[in-house]
Chains A and B, each alone.
Chain A
Amino acid sequence: MIRVEDLEVTFGAGRDAVRAVRGVSFAVAPGESFGLVGESGSGKSTVLRVLAGLNTRYRGVAEIGGIAAGRGDRRLPRLVQMVFQDPYGSLHPRHTVDRALSEPLEIHGIGDANARVARALEEVGLGPAFRFRYPNQLSGGQRQRVAIARALMLEPKVLLLDEPTSALDVSVQAEILNLLKRLRASHRLTILLVSHNLAVIAHMCDRLAVMNRGAIVEEMDSEALRRAAPREPYTRQLLLASRGYDRAVAAGLVTYD
């Protein structure tokens, strides 16, 4: 469903050029849930943005359902949608929930908006009472539900999630992760999830790739991560560091280039 091969993204030019993504390849089967994990600057979000068509300057292959991303193909929006990290920034502050959810239908000439919006709200666990509210009348978790509902309005097959719960409290994070799991099953979605949080990735994904400095360090299934059996020292260090503070671990940290 998703195919990325030898993907290269460079920002800037000449001496200041930064190779943000360096020869990344992976594939995600239909219905599979795949995670990209890494620290800031690892290039994980850039890969996602290329697939979402937000970053059109790339070399190599980035395809969804056989269609190249970011090349202006009008079929893509109905195939793939994205949910962003910040539910405060991703909704228009002066548009009601109703308008946010109807807009994609209008743009793509889909009728029956009234019933579709009502059904979408129902699906993400927001009652009809939320329909005519503005984003500032919603909590962070409710906003993220609206953002997810909006992503599903065009009934895409693929959902790209960029740190969808990083800005939320842990109790709200649990609710959103549960919602995503339910929606994945009911809509038979293919999911690509980007996060810095290994536990969130292990919980949501069948397989994952660890990224560092623009390249994939290793790819494995979540089962291997659970058994704490990553092959690469970088991944082992990431796993150790994410378990909480340990004086000995802190003293032994290494920088991997």
Chain B
Amino acid sequence: MSALLEVEDLRVTFPTPTGPFEAVRGVSFSLGRERLGIVGESGSGKSLTGRAVIGLLPPNARLSARRLAFDGVDLLGADARMLRRLRGRRMSLVLQDPKYSLNPVLRIGEQIAEAVRLHRGGSAREARRRALGMLEAVRIRDPERAMRLYPHEVSGGMGQRIMIAMMLAPEPDLLIADEPTSALDVTVQMQVLAILDNLVAKRGMGLIFISHDLDLVASFCDRVLVMYGGRVMEECRARELASARHPYTRGLLDSLPRIDRPRELLPTLSRDPAWLDPA
């Protein structure tokens, strides 16, 4: 069985007045039906990596890769029609802020039903039934009522669960979640993660979970890529992240304040320019 997603030597470049700037510099990984975490600080290229996979880079970005394939389909050579068929229906993207991702003038029920019909076809009634089912699956308390609401009438945590319901309604095989819970309170965050966890376990979905939160990724994912300066510094099993070897990963872990380990001052990270040298 081939991997769900294969990425080899992925590069994303932006033109700047001082010459091209390479934001993602030769990233390679493969994904099965598992939870893969990508962690890094701002500017590490983790979000661009996720967006490159689904083909939603800013228009001025240039993408190149030796191989970029989803379920055996070469995404680099695919035409726009092929990409449209995959995107949304088989690969989906959840972003951090539901405020900017939901259509403010469309009722929530209509938005989810629209996603279902667009990608799965079927009658309006069937789409509505599925939308209701998805809202139930993400534990919205009164889904009938939620269907009638506009995005501004729901809380941040509820909006994020609605986003997830909408992205999952077409039953994608791959979900890319970019900081899906960073704006949420810890308890709501746990509930949203439990939903994603169930979907991976039950439906065999592949999940790329992009986050700046090392502890969260270590506790939630199966495997982790640690990125810095557009490169993968280290790849390890999530459970073993605490004993990671790379000085960057170690530095990040050390710089976190810990409740059970009081220290007067926190060690700060010193960055080694050699980390950015081509491997």
The residues of A with any CB-CB pair to B shorter than 8 Å are 39-40, 140, 169-171, 173-175, 177-178, 181, 196, 198-200, 202-204, 222, 225-226, 228, 237-239, 241-247, 249-251, 253
Interface-lining segment among B16-24, B64-72, B121-129, B210-218: B210-218
Within 8 A of A (CB), among B233-279: 251-252, 255-260, 262-269
Q: Report whether A174 and B187 are in contact in the complex, using a CB–CB cutoff of 8 Å.
A: no
Find chain B residues with CB under 8 A from A173 CB.
255
CB-CB under 8 A from A249, the residues of chain B are 190
**Interface size in chain B (residues, C-beta < 8 A):** 35
B194 x A199 contact (CB < 8 A):
no
Contact for A40 among B41, B156, B218, B256, CB less than 8 A: B156
CB nearest neighbor in A for B258: A199
Rounded to whole Å, the gap between the CB of B87 and the closest CB of chain A is 28
B214 touches A170 (CB 8 A): yes
The answer on a CB contact under 8 Å between A203 and B156 is: no
Please pick, from A175, A228, A237, A245, the residue contacting B193 in the complex, using a CB distance under 8 A.
A245
Does chain A have a CB within 8 A of B79?
no
A169 touches B212 (CB 8 A): yes
In the complex, A169 Cα to B39 Cα: how many Å? 11
Docked-complex contact B216 and A244, CB < 8 angstroms: yes
Shortest CB–CB separation between residue A257 and chain B, in angstroms? 13
Mark B177-215 against chain A: 1 for CB-CB distance below 8 A, else 0: 000000001110111011001000000000000001011
A245 touches B257 (CB 8 A): no
The 10 closest A-B pairs by CB, nearest first: A244-B219, A203-B257, A174-B255, A174-B266, A250-B194, A39-B185, A169-B41, A171-B269, A245-B220, A241-B186
Are the CB atoms of B216 and A245 closer together than 8 Å? yes
**Contact pick for A181, options B260, B262, B265, CB 8 Å:** B265
Q: Which residues of B contact A (CB under 8 A)?
A: 41-42, 156, 185-187, 189-191, 193-194, 197, 212, 214-216, 218-220, 251-252, 255-260, 262-269
B220 touches A226 (CB 8 A): no
Of all chain B residues, the one with the shortest Cβ separation from A197 is B257
User: Is there an interface contact between B190 and A199, defined as CB atoms closer than 8 Å?
Assistant: no
Cβ contacts under 8 Å, B269 to chain A: 171, 174
Q: A181-B264, A250-B191 are in contact. Are A202 and B259 (CB under 8 A)?
A: yes
Q: Are A237 and B264 in contact (CB under 8 A)?
A: no
Q: Would B256 and A199 count as touching, CB distance under 8 A? A: yes
Q: Are B266 and A177 in contact (CB under 8 A)?
A: yes
Docked pose: A169 CA to B227 CA in angstroms: 13
Q: Considering only CB atoms, which chain A residue lies closest to B184 in the complex? A: A40
B191 contacts A175, C-beta separation under 8 Å: no
Choose from B186, B216, B267 the contact partner of A39 (Cβ within 8 Å): B186
Expressed in whole angstroms, the minimum distance between the Cβ of A229 and any Cβ of chain B is: 12
Given the known interface contacts A175-B268, A226-B262, the answer about A202 and B257 at a Cβ–Cβ threshold of 8 Å is: yes
Partner of B252, one of A171, A242, A243, A246: A171
| Residue pair B266, A196 in contact (C-beta under 8 Å) | no
Residues of B near A200 (CB, < 8 A) are 257
B258 CB contacts on chain A under 8 angstroms:
199, 203
| Chain A contacts for B41, CB-based, 8 A | 169-171
Q: Are B187 and A170 neighbours in the complex by a CB distance under 8 Å? A: no
Chain A residues with Cβ below 8 Å from B267 are 174
Residues of A within 8 A of B42 (CB): 140, 169
B161 to chain A, nearest CB (A): 13
**CA gap between A169 and B218 in the complex, in Å:** 17
Cα A238 to Cα B259 in complex, Å, equals 13
Q: Which of B189, B260, B263 contacts A241 (CB 8 A)?
A: B189
Q: List 21 A-B contacts (CB under 8 A).
A: A39-B186, A40-B185, A140-B42, A170-B214, A170-B255, A175-B268, A196-B186, A198-B259, A199-B257, A199-B259, A226-B260, A228-B260, A238-B186, A241-B187, A244-B219, A245-B219, A247-B194, A251-B194, A253-B187, A253-B190, A253-B191
**Cα distance A225–B193 in the bound complex, in angstroms:** 25
Shortest A235–chain B CB gap in Å is 12
Q: How far is the CA of A244 from the CA of B187 in the complex (A)?
A: 10
